[in-house]
Amino acid sequence: MTDKTKSGMAWTRRDFLTRTALASGAVMGGLSGASPRGLFSPALAADEKTINVLTLGEGIFGDPFVKLAGDFTKATGIKVNNVTMGYNESMQKQAAVFAAQGTDLDVVGVDYMFLKGYAKAGHLAALDPLIPTELADYYSDTPANLKDVWSLDGQTYGLATVGNCQNFIYNEGHLKDVGLEAPDTWDALLSAAQKVVSEEKKRYGFVAGTERLTKAVTVWLPMFWAGGGELFDDKMHPVFASDTGTKSLEFLLELMKTMPPGGGAYTESDEIKALSVGLATLDPTSWVPDSIKNADDATKPNLKTHVAPMGSARRAPVLGGIGLCVSNYSPQKEAAAAFVAWFNSKDVQVGKIVEAGGQPCRISAWEANADAKPWFRSLSENLKVAKSLPQIPEWGQVDGAISAQLTQAFAGEIKPKDALEAAQAGVDEVMKDAGYY
């Protein structure tokens, strides 16, 4: 390369590297000076009233926040930059941003399992001083258990926004074919699942997503809880390897014998498809209504929903829910809180959120939209009795320890009692290591 400023003199390699580095540094410094938040700030626009909102991209936990962002902007003048991704990616991103105390995100869709851990770590802003009037109105119109789930030490750190829990979807046509109605108890469900199986008709009984990372534990839990079981005692010792635990896992394995072939390692999409094409009959642990939405013409009229089955102690569908929280590192907490408040306001919950593809969390909104979707009535009843997963930062490890053993039991590698004992020992190590005792 020849330096044109001094004709006849060539650049050495050292000269090239040095000058390139200096030039790059000058450019980087200039750019970072130009932006109010720095070079890598996502808000390169000079407008301070733009908030970054992290939610899922689609489905009930994503569609409303994307589709209604424009309405929010019209109502408040605050612009929204939607940052959307899948569930796993969203959970990983927010954990990383919080750990780095990043200012990239203003509003974050947090799974309630992690709410208390994040709040304790100081990652979330308390909403009480930011939206006190809206909170009072909100709590007057939501089930009592929601306040406990979304609060820590008397302060609210998130609002549920989209209500969800496990729902019971079943094929009425298959049951009528064998002279049965929708089962109300777990025992009746097992009996119905066994009766309805027909190899010639390619018809099977129970169906659930049994894969490890997202499903195995929450398939077993409703049966375990319905039988009166608890995961932990009041000192956080794991106590689930009990008679109730073993019986519930044995019960689940009996149910799994009525699944389509390969059911021991079924993905959520296998589960949804099996119900939507009429292959399976009973899905009491369904998280999304996609099997109804996507059912073929022959199956759709037969797919109905019911309240969660009753056990010897209670009905206990697992509570779900990704709510909206304000990042404690957000430089625009008031604007972010306004977003949370707007999406949880009565007008939006009653009149907009269902149309935009979501599900409400307010009692009045469920009542007003009871017939908006075929699965809403049973879902709103289930929400009243849904039980939340332990809201501890170690839940990921606990879930991992239990699901590793459950999937081995599903595969027939170990007996239910041995699986639960090994799982309990694993969880015990986790809790000890975390300092609970």
Partner 1 sequence: MAPALIVLAAIFVYPLVDAFITSLMRWNLISNVKRWTGFGNYVAIFSDPAFPGVVRVTFIYSALSLFFEFSLGLALALMVRAGLRRALLGFPLMRVLILAPLLVAPLLWAFYFRSFYSPQFGLFNQVLEGLGLPTVLWVNDKNLAIFSLVLADVWQWTPFMFAILLAGLMALPTDVVEAARMDGAGGWRILFAIELPMLRPVLLVTLLIRTIDSLRYLDLVLVITQGGPGRSTEILNFLAYRTSFQEFQLGRGAALAFIVLALVMLAAAALLRVMWKASR
Residues lying near partner 1 in the complex (CB under 8 A) are found at: 17-18, 21, 88, 92, 95-96, 98-99, 114, 117-118, 120-121, 123, 211-213, 260-267, 269-270, 273-274, 277, 279, 393-394, 396-397, 399-400, 404, 407-408, 410-413, 433-434
Q: Three-state SS for 9?
A: coil
Backbone angles phi, psi at 164, to 5 degrees: -160, 150
Cβ 436 to partner 1 shortest distance, Å: 12
- Among residues 219 and 274, whose Cβ is nearest to partner 1? 274
Which is it for strands 303-306 and 282-286: parallel, antiparallel or unpaired?
Answer: unpaired
Contacts of 54 (CB under 8 A, 6+ apart): 83, 84, 85, 90, 93, 94, 105, 107, 108, 109
Closer to partner 1 at the Cβ: 173 or 400? Answer: 400
Per the rule left: phi > 0, alpha: psi between -120 and 50, beta: everything else, 310 is: beta
Of 140 and 269, the one with the shorter C-beta distance to partner 1 is 269
In angstroms, what is the minimal distance from the CB of 231 to partner 1?
A: 16
Nearest distance from residue 376's CB to partner 1, in Å? 28
- Cβ nearer to partner 1, comparing 386 with 398: 398
Closest by CA to 165, choosing from 394, 385, 423, is 385
**Gap between the Cα atoms of 417 and 420, Å rounded:** 5
Nearer to partner 1, 9 or 17 (CB): 17
Q: Least distance in Å: CB of 260 to partner 1?
A: 6
Q: Are 63 and 80 in contact (CB under 8 A)?
A: no
Smallest gap, in angstroms, from Cβ of residue 324 to partner 1?
Answer: 18
Residue closer to partner 1 (CB basis): 34 or 100: 100
Half-sphere exposure in the Cβ direction for 421 (13 Å, CA): 6
- Give CA–CA dist 169/192, Å, rounded: 14
The SS3 of residue 163 is coil
H helices of 186-242, in order, are: 186-196, 216-226
Strand-strand pairing, 50-56 and 79-85: parallel
Nearer to partner 1, 155 or 408 (CB): 408
